[in-house]
Amino acid sequence: MSTPLEHLNSQVFRAQLHTKFTAVSPSAPPVTLELVEVLERDDSPQMEFFALHWLGPITPRLAQQIHRLDHDVLGSVEIFLTPINADQLGTLYEAIFHRFRKQP
């Protein structure tokens, strides 16, 4: 069962920096990604904006789409990933969250 994204915020992901996530697909072998960066903007009290960056292998390169990521602490999450850069270190993926903040 997937963890709902509304239960996850930048602080939850920041606590998992430099840990491994596994991108799982029924039609391809698993791909290991490392969460390498959490970027936050606090421009609005009504909106939450943050971006996550994962580093994965050069190949195979994951397609820009929703991927199921399995993690030892967070469980399974489904996140839209976009490859944004590739170099000798690997492929960098980004997920952007821009949503209304939960009201107390």
C-alpha Rg value of the chain to the nearest Å: 14
| Total number of domains in the chain | 1
CATH number of the domain to which 29 belongs: 2.40.30
Reply yes or no: is the peptide bond before residue 60 cis, omega within 30 of 0: yes
Report the predicted TM-score, pTM, of the whole model to 2 decimal places: 0.89
Q: What is the pLDDT of residues 43-101, one digit of tens each?
A: 777 788 999 999 999 999 999 999 999 999 999 999 999 999 999 999 999 999 987 76
Contact, 75 vs 24, CB < 8 A? Answer: no
**If pLDDT is split at 50, 70 and 90, which confidence band does 103 have?**
low
* DSSP symbols for 40-86: EE---SSEEEEEEEEEE-SSSPPPSEEEEEEETTTEEEEEEEEEEEE
Q: Domain range spanning residue 20?
A: 5-100
